[in-house]
Structure 1
Amino acid sequence: MPTLLDHLQKAVQGRSPLIYLYSPEENRLLDGVRALADTFPEALPVYVWSCVQGFSGLGSAGDTKAPVDALRAVLASDTRGIFVMRDLHPFLSEPDVIRALRECYYAFREDPDRMVVVMAPELVMPESLKKEIYLIEVLPPGDDQILAEILRVRESYGVAAFAEDVLDEMVLACKGMTVAEIGHVLHRISRTDLSVKDDILEEIFSEKEMIVKKSGYLEFTPPRWDIDGVGGMDNLKDWLRKRQAVFSRDAVASGVPIPKGLLLMGISGCGKSLGVKIISSLWNVPLFRLDMNLVFSGLYGSPEAAFHSALSTLEAVSPAILWIDEIENGLGMEEDKITIASHIFSAFLTWMQEKPPLVFVAATANRIHALPAEIIRKGRFDQVFFADLPNKKEREEIIRIHLQRNGGDPEDYDVEMLGLLMEDWNGAEIEQAIVSARVDAYSEGRSMVQKDVTRSSSLIVPLSTTMEDQIKGIRSWAFTRATPASKYGSKARTR
């Protein structure tokens, strides 16, 4: 992978006097610029500007805190060198700043010993500068840089803080983090005397979770759900188990096709969200839910920029699972057409084709008629599953799980009878009946018994009754378009 110095040298070779370095890693960028300066036959001086201190070391340039004054000083000076403008992006909407940068471009393009470098953690590219600026998006540090930072921190403590056998896994765990973030977490690990591999990796993953939370629109979902604690959906479970070992860096290195994602559609309350959550626990990979309402809220800039930032953040912290709940709403879909978010929808489809291998996309959908062919065709998702109302065997399994969670012993209940009583119920309705039964029993100061569950069940009108026609339509649509998440039942089939 090309280094920052490689990219900078390409810009110099092309006589590009105006360079935009897009990255939050200011010190790393400055190191790269200084390394570039040293490659010239006669090393170039590097002058650094900020709106707080102005230019440092530019002689009698006067007050250069204002960006226009700083650029005027650069133009007026015949000093050779690299002029670094830190955090110039908030000023790039000002016409005089734009004009000053254009004048620098035309003044320096035939002078290889003078150039302006803009450094910014945000990408702000005025339309009138797009033809003049050479953009370099600086990616997070690679394996060699991460290892160098780990060894640097280890040596600073005078002892072998991290054992040799854990270094490779630490490098993988730190992928996507900045050098500064890596340094912070490594110092914290060293000072808290963490030496067990699992504890070290857990601390690094906690740091990555915090990084994602800072985005605001990505929510970390803890891996609390065990796959055996979910009733039914055996086809889905088998599919996930078979790919557990495949979703790994070893598999990537071996050239094994890595799972891209799955789409879980179906009837409301049948465990689609739970089916996504168990992936994280089974694969031991962090799960992040993308809140599309916040993406469209405008709190984080334009929806397009926020969506791109969310995807970039997930790429940086991979391996990770991206959860898009109710994808038909999140990407602005309506039945028979794509609405206001068609630009985001197109960007998402492109990203699905080109994303890094260790970002797995798990999407759920309720209004499956609203899903266009571009989403459900092979190549986007590895598999499309349909979650139907649980059959008799699955209902009994779900009842047992919820009885245990609510302090009951399934052996004390007639589970088969309860399963018949709850025919055509979804999992959420079964759970609510048992939860209500426990609340009723607790309010009377006694343990929950069969009669409590029977009574609470009689008060629930299932979705299969209130939405009978819609459920028939969903089943009819999904029958030839999706694989059942469940194995059992007269209509169940596998592919």
Structure 2
Amino acid sequence: MDWQDLGLLLETGKIVSLQCPLIERVATLNWIKQYLAASKNLPLYVWNLGQEEFKEYHLTGNKSHHFDPIKNDCLSRVVDFLIDCQEPGVFVVENLQSLINYPNCSDSQFSDRTLLITAKLTNLFYSLATDNLSRKYIILLSTDGSELPLHLQSVIPTIWKPLPTTEEITLIVEEFLVSTVNWGFNLDKSSLILAASGLTQEEIKTGLRLGLQLSLGASAIDFLLSYKINRLRNLNLEFIPQPNITDFGGLDLLKSAISKIRNKFTPEARKCNLALPKGCLLVGPPGTGKTRAAKACAAQLGFPLVSVDVGAIVAGGLKLLRELLQRVEALAPCVVHFDEFDKLFAASSNSGEDVSNRQILGTMLTWLQEKTSATYVVATLNRLNSLPPELTRAGRFDRIFYLGFPQAIERKEIIQLHAARFDPRYLVENGPLTESEWRILLNKTVNCTGAELEQMVCRAADKIFDVALEEIKQKSSQLTTNNEQVVNIPIFIELQDLLEEREKIFPLYVRDTERVLAIENQSRYVSEPSSSPDTSQYAPPLTTYWGQPVSQPSDSTIQKTILN
């Protein structure tokens, strides 16, 4: 339900459950007092577990509603007070949702206590709903994400306080910029607004204040962005403003698809009534470059990357998923990466049913189907058949790509991509290796994943560096001093260096052939290929089962066969 409907819901049902982050507690209470209690000319009373009475909020010389505390069940007395109280007002009860569900006694006592309090809340709801003359309004404020039991949710509506809109962020930033006039800093408003997206109002204000004081205003934007990254990390969201991976070896069909996706986010596409792209699934064995492709996708689209911790969702449940999706929507435009997406819907070996809560699946399905924000979802996984069929049908993801073991020309591109980080010679054509040397290396790396090829190159560079460093140390007793210039150690990677490290690597395909082939067979033929067939000079010739070469038919022969 919408935040602006809070007043209407209170007027009709008299009791509402309200969810907001703890950092927004004071701001929320101020809003309730200013826009709800004051508009009805009613006092605002607040109770929480840290006090034994309802206290009138933000008034001096206030009067408090006292009740005799009972150590064994103070919460039940609070509900009794709300039922018996005849004085008009807006009553806020903090975190009653979690107090109901907190097992502070044995199982039987906890069950009886929960049933008693929920029954009293039900009676309270119906007594208020039938009393049209009553001016008693109750808000159950939750600041820890806990929710009411399901049977109470059916009668007591729940509202989530939304993250600020762009217009609201603009007002906060403009107010901040006015306060910095005397400081003599000229900060870019649009950059501040972009850096503040995805944060709550109080988080934005806190980040701006800290940025102004700690960085003396000169780098307040950078500080706010760093503050946002840390806040999102606490929610198990990894926010990368500008992914530094802009390319990946091979996968030409996937690259072409990403370039077309970028066009769908343009204003011209909106004018033609084209729908925003939803996302894609990247399926394949471990180490084939799925995560790197997700990062490169964000870089090519020009969007920040938001990586979601699937394990945290499984542990945190539905309430964490809702909060994560709310943050992601506020960060749009962005690329949302769900790594190891299949683990979110892992099946139990005993029952065959989904271990994760079915509510998580329902929420995810609804969001993927109905989302209208500029969020492009890239979900990477190993086993396509482990996903529920509802997730893979049309309308949830636009496309499903299979990323398998790199072909010969792709292995060459991957090796050159990583070797060029250390040896600039690999940036030009074939690099320092001849065609025959490339053939030797590519034949030795058949069925190696992209991650294994990267490891091979990095280990070769490390070995060359260690050898060169030892030689320098032997010539000089001390490599550097406090003010001495650092010695530049050139790294030249040759064929023999790569072959030596290749022999030390045991590819996944060799170590776990059966399971890798199972992953490949389950996904390869029901997904789009991410790479075109290898027609380069490095492609191995086609042979029969007995090793005899197979001649490729000419185009004219194919046409004659089709006509016949």
TM-score by length of 2: 0.73
**Per the alignment, in what secondary structure is the counterpart of residue 250 of structure 2?**
coil
The answer on 1:293 being equivalent to 2:311 is: yes
In the alignment, the residues of structure 1 paired with residue 93 and residue 120 of structure 2 have an alpha-carbon distance, to the nearest angstrom, of 13
CA drift of 1:69 comes to 4.4
Q: 1:434 — aligned with what?
A: 457
What residue in structure 2 maps to residue 10 of structure 1?
A: 8
State the distance in 1 between where 2:521 and 2:243 align: 34
SS in 2 for 1:282: helix
Task: Tell me the SS of whatever aligns to 1:434.
Answer: helix
1:341 is aligned to 356
Distance 1:227 1:383 in 2: 21
Name the aligned partner's letter for residue 93 of structure 2.
M
1:119 is matched with which residue: 129, 138, 141? 141
Identify which range, 64-73 or 368-377, moves more after superposition. Answer: 64-73
Indicate whether 1:482 and 2:523 are aligned.
Answer: no
**Pair 69,254 (structure 1): closer, same or farther in 2 beyond 3 Å:** farther
Cα separation, 2, equivalents of 1:167 and 1:464: 52
**Residue 85 in structure 1 maps to residue 93 in structure 2:** yes
Contact kept in structure 1, 2:448 and 2:507, CA below 8 Å: yes
Is the 1:82–1:114 Cα contact (8 Å) retained in structure 2?
A: yes
Partner of 2:556 in structure 1?
none
Correspondence for 2:30: 31
Return the offset for 1:468: 5.7
Q: Residue 289 of structure 1: CA displacement?
A: 3.0
2:340 to 326, 330, 343: 326
Name the residue aligned to 1:20: 17
What RMSD over aligned residues (CA atoms) do the two structures have, in Å?
3.7
Q: Distance in 1 between matches of 2:87 and 2:415?
A: 79
CA distance in structure 1 between the aligned counterparts of 2:165 and 2:154, rounded to whole angstroms:
30
Q: 2:159 aligned with 1:136, yes or no?
A: yes
* Residue 105 (structure 1) aligned with residue 125 (structure 2): yes
- On the 8 A contact 1:223/1:277 being kept in 2, the answer is no
Between the aligned residues of both structures, percent identity stands at 24
Residue equivalent to 1:234: 252
Aligned length: 477
CA contact (8 A) 1:265 1:365 kept: yes
Deviation of the 1:253 alpha carbon: 8.7
Change (3 A) 1:251 1:64: farther
- Once residues 32 and 371 of structure 1 are traced to their aligned partners in structure 2, the CA distance between those partners, rounded to angstroms, is 43
How far apart are residue 63 of structure 1 and its match? Answer: 5.1
- Report whether the alignment pairs 1:455 with 2:500: yes
Segment of structure 1 superposing worse, 267-276 or 91-100? 91-100
CA 1:168/1:444 → structure 2, altered by over 3 Å: closer, same or farther? closer
CA distance in 2: counterparts of 1:61 and 1:466, whole angstroms: 71
Amino acid at match of 1:47: Y
CA shift for structure 1 position 180: 0.5
**SS state at 1:153 partner:** helix
Matched residues in 2 for 1:252 and 1:28: separation?
Answer: 37
Name the aligned partner's letter for residue 281 of structure 1.
Answer: A
Task: Determine which of 247, 270, 293 is the counterpart of 1:275.
Answer: 293
Pick closer, same or farther for the CA change 1:366–1:127 going to 2, 3 Å.
closer
1:433, 1:367 → 2: CA distance?
26
Residue type matched to 2:18 in 1? L
Question: Structure 1 residues 123 and 339 mapped into 2: Cα distance closer, same or farther (>3 Å)?
Answer: closer
Question: Which residue number corresponds to residue 50 of structure 2?
Answer: 52
Equivalents in 1 of 2:259, 2:16: separation in Å?
A: 48
Q: Partner of 1:405: helix, strand, or coil?
A: coil
The alpha-carbon distance between structure 1 residues 424 and 45, as it changes in their structure 2 partners (threshold 3 A), is closer
The match for 1:264 is 282
Q: Is the 8 A contact 1:104 1:116 kept in 2?
A: no
Which deviations, in whole Å up to 9, do the C-alpha atoms of 1:83-106 show, x marking residues without a partner? 222333332345465455445434
1:172-228 CA-to-partner distances (Å, cap 9, x unmatched) read 553432211111122234443546xxx66544443332222112x434457554323
Indicate the residue corresponding to 1:423 in structure 2: 446
Task: Report how far residue 120 of structure 1 moved.
Answer: 1.5
Partner of 1:62: 66
Give the corresponding residue for 1:153.
Answer: 176
Contact 1:326 1:365 in 2 (8 A): yes
1:269 and 1:428 in contact (8 A); partners too? yes
Q: What is the distance in 1 between the residues matched to 2:121 and 2:288?
A: 58
Separation in 1, partners of 2:383, 2:348? 9
Deviation at 1:263, TM superposition (A): 0.9
Once the two structures are superposed, the pairs formed by residues 180-219 of structure 1 within 5 Å of their partners are 180-191=202-213, 192-194=215-217, 202-215=222-235, 217-219=236-238
> Is the 8 Å Cα contact of residues 233 and 485 (structure 1) preserved in structure 2?
yes
Alpha-carbon spacing, 1:377–1:127, altered in 2? closer, same or farther (3 Å): closer
The equivalences for 1:355-394 within 5 A come to: 355-371=371-387, 373-394=389-410
> Could you tell me how far 1:332 is from its partner in structure 2?
0.9
By how many angstroms is 1:264 displaced? 1.0
Q: Is the 8 A contact 2:163 2:326 kept in 1?
A: no
Residue 136 of structure 2 aligns with an amino acid whose one-letter code is: R
Question: CA-to-partner distance for each residue in 1:271-324, whole Å, 9 max, x for gaps?
Answer: 112111212333343333333334334xx4xx3444444333433433333322
Determine helix, strand or coil for the equivalent of 2:400.
Answer: strand
Following the alignment from structure 1 to structure 2, what is the Cα–Cα distance between the partners of residues 244 and 45? 53
Distance 1:174 1:378, change over 3 A: same
Q: Decide whether aligned partners of structure 1 residues 394 and 123 sit closer, same or farther in structure 2, where only a CA change above 3 A counts.
A: same
Unaligned runs of 5+ in 2: 57-61, 102-112, 472-490, 540-564
Structure 1 counterpart of 2:477:
none
Q: Secondary structure at the match of 2:93?
A: strand
Determine helix, strand or coil for the equivalent of 1:243: helix
Instruction: Read off the aligned partner of 2:37 and give its amino acid letter.
Output: A
Whole-Å separation in 1 of the counterparts to 2:15 and 2:446: 69
Stretch of structure 1 that moved more, 264-273 or 461-470: 461-470
State how far apart, in whole Å, the 1-side matches of 2:128 and 2:45 are: 16
